Structure 1
Amino acid sequence: MKKLNLLYLFILNLLLISCGSNSGKKKSDFSLFTETEKNEFQLGESVQLKIRNIKNRQIDSAALYFQEKYITSSKGEPSLQLQLQNFKLGNHVARAIVFSEGETDTITLPVKIYNNIPPTVYTYRIINTYPHDQTAYTQGLEFYRDTLYESTGQYGSSTLRKTNFETGEVLQQAELADKYFGEGLSILNDKIYQLTWNEGEGLIYDVTTLERQGSFKFNNSKEGWGLCNDGHQFYKSDGTEKIWILNGKTLVEETFIQPTTHRSVSTQLNELEWVEGMIYANTYQKDGVAIINPENGAIEGLINFQGLREKVTQHANLDVLNGIAYNPNTKKLYVTGKNWDKLFEVEIVER
């Protein structure tokens, strides 16, 4: 009987809390819509948002928020203007708080923002060709102080390597436990950060010895794909439309950008590389590399690497393009692929 009474009190408390909360109320008497009845726009457009008053209640005022910023407010039957300048691209939600008859209602509207300029299209020119370990299932590639580091994948054979890129020789290697599938890597302040695929964990190493020093968890994303850094913070892909931005000290995924062209939001972005203020990202199982503005996610360029895979030895385990490395000291760019026996120094040429 005591247990029954306690259960009754618990349910009653839940009902009371729900009734006093906006989230527990019936469907709102208001809705948010655009003057043109569309929700896809391009950067730079002005969007006129209005509130549909379903029950003809008196509206005292309304406030508009977008991408965690207060935008504007209006009194009476409000019309709220949203100027799409200096915002991140992709899929977002406009939120309005309506003040009416002593109550507040929060209403939302999905808003998709495309870039207002098509990406510039590039091709490539091969400058040099170097040997590369054909058994390496390349997941991450990055220069640090003129030395090339590589992360390889596959359960039971994932590694972290320090290599001589001119000869293909593996100078040093650390093997991952069989439970890990190695993914992208990036190096900051003498530490190597290597992602794992489905384990929700990143691994930390000393850049000189390749000894494990710790690990970190993925707090928002479920998977690890590609990783790069700008000298202060990390950028991490996870196969979705998001590139997560990680705090360089805590490694917490604090926010994200969505790589977007003038007509679509991209997914399946894999290996990442920081190149002169931009993020280079290859699309998994494709021959293209996107050049992404890290501030708003705009895809400002597309590099077509079609035909490069045909220039390596063809064999049963040959896989897709994956591996971008930029040496900031020499200003040279290198690409390879999974189980490719060649590393290419390339020059990017506008088509």
Structure 2
Amino acid sequence: MSLKKFAPLVIASLSAGCSSSETAQPEVEYLVPEIVQTLPFNESSFTQGLEVDGSDLIIGTGQYGGSRIYRSTIDGQEKASQPLDPSFFGEGITRAGDVVWQLTWNEGVAFKRDATTLEELARVNYDGEGWGLCTSGDQLIMSDGSSTLQVRDPETFEQLNIINVTLDGTAVDKLNELECVDGEVYANIFMDTDIVRIDLDSGAVNAVIDASSLPNNADPDINNVLNGIAFIPDSENFYLTGKRWPDLYEVRFIPAG
């Protein structure tokens, strides 16, 4: 699904058990990433979640029999790692306070982990698929591959709200890896090189980032796509990578054209 042809949108934001409400159409920015530096990345990582945590990265990976969550330095030196049982396919991750949450794809299980050691503390069941996850203030934001984002409690993982995401009146589906920044969510679009920026209050997409210019140096494989976005605190920059990509790109987003 290419988003480049779309313009401003109307969005309906739904709460569980509540009716929808419309918001004014926002101005949509069209941006591209400008590479600041290129760093080495673990090319065996089927990246499903990426997050900056202090001076480290936390990475969640997928694939049955190969899923894990690990902590590394920015230049790739591993410091802690926890594998998933081969029956689980790992998905998105996020840190919320003293814990890290990790999703699974089809298994309906979220792992609650110690933020430092990444050791499992608890498991919580949820309905449907798990794709991306990020922390916005005192809430978790979760994607499931559809055009909706779920708002969840960071302690219990209970679902609180649902946000429908559309662009120019059209649902934007395949929302995947997420990064929450100052009341907005950046979302990778599965199997695409577009990233959308979503206003959390309204659900409105207010920017489309065309990341097709980033070099994909992974081995040829339909699955080795852009997937991984992490904000760098105290800056305006982000890290971007992909599934089994050997490179981690520090980028800034600038106007297209």
Structure-1-length-normalised TM-score: 0.66
Aligned to 2:5: none
Is the helix fraction higher in 1 or 2? 1
User: Which runs of structure 2 are paired with 1:90-101 in the superposition (5 Å)?
Assistant: none
Q: 1:237 to 1:115 in 2, by over 3 A?
A: farther
Identical-pair percentage? 32
Q: Contact between 1:115 and 1:298, CA under 8 Å: does it hold in 2?
A: no
Aligned to 2:228: 323
Query: What is the CA-CA distance between 1:181 and the residue it aligns to?
Result: 0.3
Aligned to 1:67: none
- Please state whether the residue corresponding to 2:172 is helix, strand or coil: coil
Q: Distance in 2 between matches of 1:185 and 1:318?
A: 19
2:150 alignment partner, one of 244, 247, 259: 244
Residue 131 of structure 2 corresponds to residue 225 of structure 1: yes
Once the two structures are superposed, residues 37-90 of structure 1 have per-residue CA deviations (whole angstroms, 9 ceiling, x without a partner) of xxxxx75xxxxxxxxxxxxxxxxxxxxxxxxxxxxxxxxxxxxxxxxxxx8448
Once the two structures are superposed, residues 100-139 of structure 1 have per-residue CA deviations (whole angstroms, 9 ceiling, x without a partner) of xxxxxxxxxxx89586235211011100000001110000
Q: Distance in 1 between matches of 2:23 and 2:243?
A: 32
Q: Contact between 1:281 and 1:290, CA under 8 Å: does it hold in 2?
A: yes
1:347 alignment partner, one of 244, 252, 257: 252
Which structure: larger Rg? 1
Once the two structures are superposed, residues 12-37 of structure 1 have per-residue CA deviations (whole angstroms, 9 ceiling, x without a partner) of xxxxxxxxxxxxxxxxxxxxxxxxxx
Query: What is the CA-CA distance between 1:204 and the residue it aligns to?
Result: 1.0
Aligned amino acid, residue 333 of structure 1: F
Aligned to 1:123: 32
Q: Contact between 2:12 and 2:165, CA under 8 Å: does it hold in 1?
A: no
Q: 1:112 to 1:255 in 2, by over 3 A?
A: closer
Q: Distance in 1 between matches of 2:157 and 2:135?
A: 11
Q: Distance in 2 between matches of 1:262 and 1:315?
A: 34
Q: 1:323 to 1:94 in 2, by over 3 A?
A: closer
Q: Contact between 2:237 and 2:253, CA under 8 Å: does it hold in 1?
A: no
- Greater mean alpha carbon deviation, residues 245-254 or residues 126-135: 245-254
Aligned to 1:267: 173
Q: 1:188 to 1:93 in 2, by over 3 A?
A: closer
Aligned to 2:60: 151
Aligned to 1:33: none
Q: Distance in 2 between matches of 1:244 and 1:318?
A: 25
Q: Contact between 2:93 and 2:134, CA under 8 Å: does it hold in 1?
A: yes
Once the two structures are superposed, residues 273-297 of structure 1 have per-residue CA deviations (whole angstroms, 9 ceiling, x without a partner) of 0123210001000000000001111
Aligned to 1:336: 241
Query: What is the CA-CA distance between 1:315 and the residue it aligns to?
Result: 3.9
Aligned to 1:199: 107
Q: Distance in 1 between matches of 2:212 and 2:24?
A: 25
- Please state whether the residue corresponding to 2:167 is helix, strand or coil: coil
Q: Distance in 2 between matches of 1:331 and 1:153?
A: 28
Q: Contact between 1:146 and 1:329, CA under 8 Å: does it hold in 2?
A: no
Higher relative contact order (CA 8 A, sep 6+): 2
1:235 alignment partner, one of 141, 157, 160: 141
The root-mean-square deviation of aligned C-alpha atoms, in Å, is: 2.4
Residue 201 of structure 2 corresponds to residue 295 of structure 1: yes
Query: What is the CA-CA distance between 1:238 and the residue it aligns to?
Result: 0.4
Structure-2-length-normalised TM-score: 0.89
Aligned to 2:98: 190
